[in-house]
Structure 1
Amino acid sequence: MLEATSHLGQLLTVLILALALGMDAFSLGVAVGMKGVRLNEVLRISTVVALFHMVMPLLGMFTGHFMGEMLGHAASYAAGVLLILLGCHMIYNSIYGNGVQILDYRSTAGVILYSLGVSMDSFSVGVTLGMFRSDLLLTIAVFGAAGGLMSVLGLLLGGRVSRNLGDYGEAIGGAVLFAFGIMFIF
């Protein structure tokens, strides 16, 4: 009985953490979705986000306490800078048109950078869960499912919102990414 209660408690803890971490993927998915994405792009982006939401905590769990303390703040700063740059890029493109596009969110590099940005905090959480000897397979599966699902929901919602906002959708999405980047840094 005690073991079943312990497993249920661990499942609830991991699920709450996964949903909290998935909120970044949701919020930023709305911002990127405002730029306009097709259904196949939503699925591709969300799949990569789900993979990163599995890999980053896995790396964190293996890295351990010492490295987590050293890199934890640096990972947040790196994610913040990345999101600020992506946001500025979207704002720039919305103002000056799509003539010169530095980063395409539909490209492989764009999807990887986006996924890395929304999954950075999963690394630090993975370090913490590794110290508590959390069930590895359970953690990775729940984090991946939550990150992917929240990303799909955000991208789809952003696509709907962008149809109503017209040309301003990309600028608003860029401003949201910029704001999240500032929040990561401070």
Structure 2
Amino acid sequence: MNPVSLILLALAMSTDAFAAAIGKGSSLHKPRLAEALRTGLIFGVIEAITPIIGWLIGQAATRWVENWDHWIAFTLLVVLGLHMIYNGFKHEDEAEEKSAQHSFLVLAVTAFATSIDALAVGVGLAFVDVNIWVAAAAIGLATMTMVTIGVMLGRVLGTVFGKRAEIVGGVVLMIVGATILYEHLSV
């Protein structure tokens, strides 16, 4: 996987977490930078671990699907991209009282929910030439950064922008999938 695709993948993987962080930030009463960093760290670590788990699962299946691995990666990324776009258009009404901080458990569960796509991407990455440790670190760092920013922006931007970010992330995932397919078919 070329460096541009890796960067796009990391950014795409972090957009759903960014959308969730905007929602989390908008539900907090005046979030501080320390809370935003705490939230970013929790999301970033979980988002970095899940593609490694997926990659390990994919590695176990690699020998059975070597001839069509690029189609698997393409399909997974397109399906996940479409799912993110669908979620971006869903309307959710949340009326809850604002607190000063979210509990670790709430943040961890939310982070895991937004990282399921990273797990599936990890499976797809097992079938292409990529260093999973670099990819996981890039995904984790991008997620930590975007979530920290998302929490701070959440109070101002609200969930509308967050949903649009998820739509953009879905489109980017589909582009990365098409790039992987193109690179393998043109060889």
Equivalent pair of 1:105/1:114 in contact (CA under 8 Å)? no
Residue number among 134, 143, 146 corresponding to 1:150 in the alignment: 146
Structure 1 residue 34: Cα displacement: 0.6
**1:1-186 counterparts in 2 under 5 A?**
10-36=2-28, 37-64=31-58, 91-93=94-96, 97=97, 106-161=102-157
* CA distance, structure 2, for counterparts of residue 107 and residue 64 of structure 1: 33
Equivalent pair of 1:105/1:111 in contact (CA under 8 Å)? no
Cα pair distance change 1:16/1:108, threshold 3 Å? same
Q: Which residue of 1 aligns with 2:66?
A: none
* CA distance, structure 1, for counterparts of residue 49 and residue 2 of structure 2: 20
Structure 1 residue 33: Cα displacement: 0.8
* CA distance, structure 1, for counterparts of residue 35 and residue 102 of structure 2: 7
AA aligned opposite 1:152: T
* CA distance, structure 2, for counterparts of residue 32 and residue 135 of structure 1: 32
Q: Which moved more, 1:35-44 or 1:48-57?
A: 35-44
* CA distance, structure 2, for counterparts of residue 49 and residue 118 of structure 1: 9
* CA distance, structure 1, for counterparts of residue 151 and residue 121 of structure 2: 24
- 1:133-185 CA-partner distances (Å, limit 9, x unpaired): 41122111111111111111211111334xxxxxxx6xx58x96xx99xx9xx
* CA distance, structure 2, for counterparts of residue 119 and residue 39 of structure 1: 23
Structure 1: unaligned runs, 5 residues or longer = 1-8, 162-168
Structure 1 residue 92: Cα displacement: 4.1
**TM-score normalised per structure 1:** 0.63
State how many pairs are aligned: 144
Give the match's secondary structure for 2:94: helix
AA aligned opposite 1:56: T
Percent identical pairs in the alignment equals 22
* CA distance, structure 2, for counterparts of residue 27 and residue 57 of structure 1: 19
**TM-score normalised per structure 2:** 0.62
- 1:73-109 CA-partner distances (Å, limit 9, x unpaired): xxx7xx99xx9xxx97x8242xxx57xx9xx961111
Structure 1 segments (4+ residues) deviating >4 Å = none
Structure 2: unaligned runs, 5 residues or longer = 63-71, 171-187
